[in-house]
Structures are given as structure tokens and as C-alpha cells.
Structure 1
């Protein structure tokens, strides 16, 4: 059975692992990782441009970016992120997404949003050739289009120095890329890794959701566990639950209320809700916490 994935039309990353990096040939390409909205520029035959999200939903109210892409008249699918660092510092990803995703009334700060381009969707070319294409394109790029800054690193220590600098500037993290790899669309590529801070906290369990199949059929297993943040906002976490966990917790689902769990995440939203959760475990015995 094929695993369903929400995102499509893009290439995604694996989390950073030193052992994976050790199998690559150096040098390595390193980009800033933004906490924005992933976006692909789809050039149309009439000269217009369609901006698509990672779920292939259109961004409708960003006329300044559409105009800049039309004026650029490049003709290739550009892969990047809708982002502005000041917007992010002012309101986190919620503000960036709020500006980008408007579909009825244009956001008053829409002109601040930029399209940060980090790749070209050419499956026939290695990353090094695609990087050269971006460098050749750079003299023609005008605001609000931005070519994402990059570093060429030869060692793990080089990568960590770039990471420290990027985190100090309050960006989300970095992406490490293999210079010899193709663009693998609709795939989580083993040739790209994201390197982001990791945190963990304890949260109270206030509920659960049953897992359902792609056809909406209940599977009599835990799909996700619902936690309460320190401010009382609820959030669901499914990451870290394997098949055994889902069956085990389903059998004791009514006993989960009031217990605590450790949630592993990348950072907190403005509402202090974990974002980028990648693991969790239920504390069976409070003495273990």
C-alpha cells in the first residue's frame, strides 16, 4: 500500500545525520532554511505565473511577486519559499503564512513578502548545474525576488559554523545539499538534509484521535495524541508513534487522559505551541519524568 503524503510537486529533505553526510562526496552546498511557505513558480503559456504551495494550492493575492516573475520571463519552474525575515521576527510563521495565504482580502503587509528562490525544477540536471543556472539568473533578479544565499562547505565543521551563524541571525536552520544529486520531485531526497534546533517539553494529555484510512475508515488505532500547551491551547501529535504504539495506546486510550508526554519539536509558535514535532513518548509512570 502506498503511503499518502500531503505535499506534492516538490522535493523534500531528510533530517540531518552525520552518518548520511559521511556517504556523500564533498564539497557540500548549504542554504538558509526559512520558516515560510514553500512555493513553486509555474510559468503559464500566456506569460502569467501560477504560484503553488507544497500541496499545489494557489497563492492568489501576491500581485507584486506575480508581476516580478512575469517581468523576469524566465520560463523555468523556480522552487523556493515565500518569506520575509522582518515579518517572521514580528510574528513568526503564523504572520508569514497569514500574508501569503490570503484568498479574499489582500493583506496590508503583502508587499513585504518576498519569493526566495533556492532551486530550479530540472530533473535532468545535477544540483551543481542548477546552482550555476541560479547564479547566471542572479543579475536579472529584482525585488521581491531573491536568490537564497548559499555556502560551499568542505567539512562537517564548516557546516556547523554556517549553522551557528544562521541560528544567531534567528533563521530556522540550514539545508545541506549534495552538489551532484538530481532534483527528485514528489520525493524526500536522501541527497538533502535539514539541520534545525531541537527542543523538548512535557505536556498534559487531554485527548486522542482515532487513525483512519485514506478512505476515511476508522482503524481502531490511535492516530494522534492531543496535548494542552502551557497557555491551554490544544495540539495533536502523531510523530513518533509506530504500529505497536498505536495499538497499545488504543487499548488504554481512556487511561491517557491526565497523563503527561514528552514532545520533541523544533521551535514554538507565538502561542507557545510546538511546531515541527518529530517524536513523542507517553510518560507511563510520572516518576519517570
Structure 2
């Protein structure tokens, strides 16, 4: 069974130069095979308009992105569109980075073959930059982070297309990120509270309020998700939601127990709680 090539975490001490680097995208992976767009789990992308828009791009491998790829809500917005059956495909682009017809050809040949096959503005050839030194890679990483991307994807220019996950030793496909994306199961909800304690001035001359629970009341929307990782680590996440999302989740909380959330945080260990977790969106079952 076909499996898309997936990146593994880069070890900066084991990089082999020259290498190619590109900004890491945070959308929905898609590969066109036999006129059908498939997700990374080999399930057809549900959106009919998206299928119609890109079905003729046989053997293209890339990322579906709705709107600005540097938007903080890029993943959430993209999933909302492409995993729905009947939403219009307006604003959905296909950022392509590989052509899988001849998997044994070196990557640079597969990538170069994409250019002559693109005939619509909705398909974007994702730029690959060549580097000879680690210092230049790190400088490019900072540039991408400043622009709002989440990191880098690194590739060997002579790599074949491997079905499944690359390894550090192979160096075919690597990801360089300063934080981790992971999935966690919703096990509960906390209501957002409004602090009605009297405002005072602290020793530094700044406004402050007591945290006494007796003088707090619920606001009727979400304060935080209570989550559990696959390793059994439980934690709460109250960041990454706008007001409308907080209202929607709180209203539907009975139906959302057990859903899989995609979370971003600084590096997480098996025994440690995530540091500064941020909600990115729901992981659709088709995209797992």
C-alpha cells in the first residue's frame, strides 16, 4: 500500500550538505493518485470542490492551504474547508513540493519536473533553497520564523521518494522545529471565569485583583480544554482560541469529549507536561 514520505526530526550534528530547505507548511497533506486527492492516511479528501480543482495533477505531492500560509489559524481554517464535503474551494491553494511518478529519480529532478506541469494560479511551487553550511540554514530558519512559518523542512537533493517516514541517517526528509506538534484527547472542559474581585494597586504601582474564587463567576464559554496525551500525561490548554471558538466549543462540549486536538508546545517529554501549549485545531479522522 502506498504511504507518503514523512519527515523525521532533524539532528543538526548529522546534516549532510548540500541540502535543500523550505518553509514548513501547516495545512493538510495531499497526494494525487488516479485522479483522486488522498490525505496522508490514504483516505480521499472529502471536499468535492477541492477534488475537482486539483484532480488532474496526477502524482503531485503537496500541502493544501487555505488563505495565508503564515496565518496563526492556517491549519484550523484549512481543515474546516477541505474536510467538509460541500464548502467552496475558493482560497484553497495546493503548495506542491514533489512529483512521485518516478520515485527512484533524485529529488531535484522530481522537483524540477513540477514547474512545466503547473498551469493554474491555485497551484504554487513551494520554493526550495540550497544551502552548503549550517550557519546559513539557521539564518534561513530565523527568517521563516519571523515571517510566521513554524520551522523548516530539509531535504537531500539526491534522495529517492521513500514510502513512509525518513530516518535521520538517510536524511531524505527532515523537519527542523523549535516546538512540537502533537495530539491529545479531550477529557474535560474548564469554563472561562470573570474576576469580580476589587481592583487594587500592588507594590509596583500596577493594577491587580485578588484571585479569591468566591468572587469569580463563569462567563459561559470555554476557559481551557482538559487533555490527555497518548503517554497518559494530563494537562490543560487555554491558549489558541478566539472568542467565537470559545463559545462554540463550550456549547458543544458534550459532543466533543474524546475528540483529538492538535496542540503546539515547546518540547514535550513523555513524563512532562507540555510547556505553553497552544490549541491549533481539531485533527480530522481522515487526516490522522
Measured against the shorter chain, the TM-score band is 0.5 to 0.7
SS at match of 2:71: helix
Check the 8 A contact 1:65/1:144 in 2, yes or no: no
Check 1:18–1:87 CA distance in 2 against 1; reply closer, same or farther (3 A cut): closer
| Post-superposition offset of 1:101 | 0.5
More helix by share: 1
SS at match of 1:152: strand
What are structure 1's unaligned runs of at least 5 residues? 1-6, 201-208, 210-223, 247-255, 285-289
Report Cα offsets for 1:7-43 as digits up to 9, x if no partner. Answer: 962001111211221xx2x21111121110000011x
1:107 correspondence with 2:120:
no
SS at match of 1:116: strand
Report Cα offsets for 1:56-82 as digits up to 9, x if no partner. Answer: 111132525634553xxx64x111000
CA distance in 1, matches of 2:268, 2:186: 12
SS at match of 1:89: coil
| Post-superposition offset of 1:118 | 0.6
Q: TM-score, normalised by structure 1?
A: 0.63
Check 1:159–1:225 CA distance in 2 against 1; reply closer, same or farther (3 A cut): same
Q: 1:135-284, aligned counterparts within 5 Å?
A: 135-137=115-117, 140-189=118-167, 190=170, 191-198=172-179, 231-238=223-230, 241=231, 269-270=240-241, 275-276=263-264, 279-282=268-271
Check the 8 A contact 1:226/1:237 in 2, yes or no: no
Report Cα offsets for 1:134-166 as digits up to 9, x if no partner. Answer: 2443xx431211111121111111111211111
Stretch deviating more after TM superposition (91-100 or 173-182): 91-100
Task: Provide the aligned length of Structure 1 versus Structure 2.
Answer: 217
Check the 8 A contact 2:37/2:55 in 1, yes or no: no
CA distance in 1, matches of 2:103, 2:150: 27
Aligned-residue RMSD, C-alpha: 3.6
1:31 correspondence with 2:57:
no
Corresponding position of 1:132:
112
CA distance in 2, matches of 1:163, 1:65: 33
Report Cα offsets for 1:104-149 as digits up to 9, x if no partner. Answer: xx225x3101111011113211112212212443xx4312111111
| Post-superposition offset of 1:181 | 1.2
